[in-house]
Copies of this chain bind each other. A is one copy, B any other.
Amino acid sequence: MKQRIELEAACELVADKLKSFSNETVKLVNSSGRVLAEDVRAPMHQPPFDRSPLDGFAVRAEDTTGASTETPVSLKIVSKLYAGDSPVKKIGPGEAARIMTGAPIPEGADSVIRQERTDWNDEEVEIKATLKPGQNYAPAGEDIKQGELLCEKGTLLRSPHLGVLASMGLEEVLVLPEPEVSVLTTGSELQEVGQELKPGKIYNSNNYMISTRLKECGAKVINSQVAVDEKDILRDRLAELIPGSDFLVTTGGVSVGEKDLILEVLEEMGAEIFFWKLAIKPGTPVVCGRLDDTIIFGLSGNPAACITTFDLLVRPTLIKINGLEKENLRKEKAIFIDDFNKSSSTRRMLRAWVVRTEKGNIVKLSKGNQRPGVLKTTLDCNCFIDIPAGSPPVESGAEVEIFRLPEIYN
């Protein structure tokens, strides 16, 4: 077990320990928000057949030569085609087919005239314009050609993709797996919302924050429990949650106090511990390990520390699996227009708000204080400022590095 580890090394270590995940076949109807695990090529043409793009008459263009409002050409109507019909009758010279939008163009016809440019009765149509072959004619494959690449592996599926894949008749798609995560919030001080608060207690906010954040990064929360700081109870909860979970995220019980029992209980249960403590503030206390096939992230119960390590460690791990790389943190430069008057012996992640301007990124601290136990700053946080270990206070105007959070959070 490593005692104190750099963030980047921690991410790599966890990535190395991941089990292999299998891609999933899901119904197209449930695939929105998932990421394609393979290239999808068109199994057929779209449209599948030559069809009319409008309501009118399918004709042979040569039969309309010289036709105009003053000199209409009369053609015999030999069939009528609605969308959904299968064409049966070929069009010969001097003939036309009444045709509606989306209906298949009958053999022999090479163009369609819009009904507004005709007069017609049941038997005959007067054509009042000269057509070119191919005019108002949507050939099979005009939209999508059989065999063409429709959606690449790695595509995040949204409404347009579902529409296009449905047009190909595809009922199912192969997508990257959705990590299944359980959540255990620990602490004898925790009380559920909606009850009157007892002395010495606080409401359990971490469960709400972490469960929602997990969903926001495309994970599936399969179970969520609360436990007081007692070894037997923690062990029971862990034993219940670990089997069947790809990941377990816990909060609380990972520092140096007498009731910080997560590390001890996990060790007793035979977990392999990857590391305890990250070299960042807030969020130094993190226990990370594995029991059977389940990766366990034991985060601090302090909300700001919890969210910081979630975003910097847990999320990068999860999106490697589900492919939601657009949701990853982006490292950028920014100009700091605030003051931070502490020096940093340890690498520090400050909660902050960054705005893009014409002159580049401008960043200031989140409203509220930067203590790890504080929640309010998370409301006003779209990035972390990464202050290297050994830095003096940060003055206004300094260039800093930030990790920008995905927009989904704000």
Q: A166 to B203, Cβ gap below 8 A?
A: yes
Contact residues in B for A372 (Cβ distance below 8 Å): 53
Q: A257 to B200, Cβ gap below 8 A?
A: no
Q: For the complex, what is the distance from the CA of A163 to the CA of B204, rounded to whole Å? A: 8
CB of A207 to closest CB in B, whole Å: 7
> In residues 73-127 of chain A, which contact B (Cβ within 8 Å)?
82-87, 100-104, 115-116
Contact residues in B for A16 (Cβ distance below 8 Å): none
Contact residues in B for A32 (Cβ distance below 8 Å): 212, 215-216
Q: B257 to A164, Cβ gap below 8 A?
A: no
Q: Is A342 an interface residue (CB 8 A)?
A: no
Contact residues in B for A46 (Cβ distance below 8 Å): 202, 375-376
Q: Is A408 an interface residue (CB 8 A)?
A: yes
Number of A residues contacting the other chain (C-beta, 8 Å)?
A: 99
Of B189, B368, B373, which is within 8 A of A53 by CB? B373
Q: A208 to B55, Cβ gap below 8 A?
A: no
Q: B229 to A166, Cβ gap below 8 A?
A: no
CB of A41 to closest CB in B, whole Å: 13
Q: Is A64 an interface residue (CB 8 A)?
A: no
Of B198, B204, B373, B410, which is within 8 A of A86 by CB? B198
Contact residues in B for A193 (Cβ distance below 8 Å): 28, 166, 169-171
Q: For the complex, what is the distance from the CA of A143 to the CA of B203, rounded to whole Å? A: 14
CB of A310 to closest CB in B, whole Å: 9
Q: B188 to A303, Cβ gap below 8 A?
A: no
Q: Is A29 an interface residue (CB 8 A)?
A: yes
Q: Is A381 an interface residue (CB 8 A)?
A: yes
Q: Is A270 an interface residue (CB 8 A)?
A: no
Contact residues in B for A44 (Cβ distance below 8 Å): 197
Q: For the complex, what is the distance from the CA of A117 to the CA of B213, rounded to whole Å? A: 36
Contact residues in B for A150 (Cβ distance below 8 Å): 376, 379
Q: Is A195 an interface residue (CB 8 A)?
A: yes
Q: A169 to B208, Cβ gap below 8 A?
A: no
Q: For the complex, what is the distance from the CA of A142 to the CA of B188, rounded to whole Å? A: 21
A49-B199, A160-B209, A163-B212 are known; give 14 further A-B pairs, CB within 8 A: A29-B208, A32-B215, A44-B197, A83-B187, A83-B189, A84-B190, A102-B189, A143-B373, A159-B378, A164-B376, A165-B208, A169-B194, A171-B193, A172-B194
Can you offer 26 A-B residue contacts whose CB atoms are under 8 A? A29-B208, A53-B302, A82-B258, A83-B229, A84-B200, A84-B229, A86-B199, A101-B302, A102-B202, A104-B199, A104-B200, A115-B257, A116-B256, A142-B374, A143-B374, A144-B375, A144-B376, A150-B376, A150-B379, A158-B409, A159-B213, A160-B381, A162-B208, A166-B209, A170-B194, A172-B194
